[in-house]
């Protein structure tokens, strides 16, 4: 098993580019879409979570869904997965499918069953040739490591649902970021984020209105400080958190570079 406590990472500049496609939650807001992040690296598109409206956000950002090579899912809640339906259906379009390169959907255990159920419900409209769409499940109860040539992925369980995982992404050419998905405070996310260039953390509810399985801005700051990250990007704001002074709460625990995430925010790693 991969031992994250022995992780030695020397930050380097890479050409990884992140676009926050959705900085909100499942609560509809005109200016914050549901969770999704695009990674553009060496002309490859990787999507982390694909909440409702993600494909439309991609179109606004001039990113073609036809170029997605892999989708990474943190957990199976609707606000992180609902646009899988739109994505698979759009891929069936005859003008798309005939030239579509194979793509992969990667996520925690239960992902295959989840997608199979969607395909059954919408049959035959989400059925694709097997060589086009492949599904990969990762262990949700322990650390997993996968090498995808250009990038290395390390995952670790988080405190949200039984299948929730967070992703650490390291480019072979240098550069590293961590994306938490939804999580409560836990040592796993601190360990996973150790020394990362950028940490993208949820910040769902303000101090005094804590919800189990989610973070406050202060808790997010504690995680970032404990992990020694250079840059902290907060996302996944519920309206209650947006009504609070997010930065001031986070600054109680974190003194590094802080960014309050917004839709279409660009981040270079």
Tens of pLDDT along 4-43? 444 444 445 678 999 999 999 999 999 999 999 999 999 9
What integer pLDDT is reported at residue 13 of this predicted model? 60
What integer pLDDT is reported at residue 6 of this predicted model? 45
Collapse the DSSP code of 6 into the 3-class scheme (helix H, G, I; strand E, B; otherwise coil) and give the result: helix
Could you tell me the pLDDT band of residue 142, with boundaries at 50, 70 and 90?
A: confident
pLDDT in tens, 157-189: 999 999 999 999 999 888 999 999 999 999 999
Query: Whole-angstrom distance between the N-terminal and C-terminal Cα of the chain?
Result: 28
Out of 1-5, 77-81, 243-247, least confident range: 1-5
What integer pLDDT is reported at residue 7 of this predicted model? 47
Taking the model in full, what pTM does it have? Answer: 0.94
Q: How many residues does the chain have?
A: 269
What integer pLDDT is reported at residue 129 of this predicted model? 93
Question: What average pLDDT score do residues 218-243 get?
Answer: 98
pLDDT in tens, 52-68: 999 999 999 999 999 99
Could you tell me the pLDDT band of residue 229, with boundaries at 50, 70 and 90?
A: very high
Contact of 176 with 269, CB cutoff 8 Å: yes
- Where would I find the H helices in the chain? 54-60, 78-81, 83-91, 94-97, 111-121, 187-192, 217-227, 239-242, 246-251
Averaged pLDDT of the chain? 94
What integer pLDDT is reported at residue 139 of this predicted model? 86
């Amino acid at each position: 098993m991969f031992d994250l406590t022995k992780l030695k990472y020397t930050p380097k500049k890479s050409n990884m580019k992140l676009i926050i496609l959705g900085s909100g939650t499942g609560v509809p807001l005109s200016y914050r879409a549901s969770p999704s992040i695009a990674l553009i690296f060496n002309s490859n598109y990787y999507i982390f979570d694909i909440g409702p409206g993600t494909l439309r956000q991609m179109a606004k950002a001039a990113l073609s869904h036809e170029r997605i090579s892999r989708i990474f899912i943190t957990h199976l809640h609707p606000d992180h997965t609902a646009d899988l339906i739109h994505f698979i259906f759009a891929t069936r379009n005859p003008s798309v499918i005939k030239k579509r390169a194979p793509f992969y959907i990667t996520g925690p255990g239960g992902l295959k069953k989840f997608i199979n159920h969607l395909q059954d419900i919408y049959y035959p409209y989400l059925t694709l040739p097997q060589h086009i769409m492949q599904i990969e499940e990762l262990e949700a109860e322990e650390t997993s490591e996968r090498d995808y040539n250009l990038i290395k992925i390390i995952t670790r369980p988080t405190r949200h649902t039984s299948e929730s995982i967070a992703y650490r992404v390291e480019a072979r050419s240098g550069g590293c970021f961590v994306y938490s998905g939804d999580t409560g405070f836990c040592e796993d996310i601190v360990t996973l984020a150790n020394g990362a260039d950028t940490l993208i953390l949820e910040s769902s509810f303000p101090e005094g209105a804590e919800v189990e399985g989610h973070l406050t801005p202060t808790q997010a700051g504690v995680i970032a400080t404990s992990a020694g990250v250079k840059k902290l990007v907060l996302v996944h704001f519920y309206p209650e958190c947006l009504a609070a002074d997010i930065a001031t709460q986070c600054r109680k625990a974190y003194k590094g570079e802080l960014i309050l995430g917004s839709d279409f925010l660009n981040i270079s790693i």
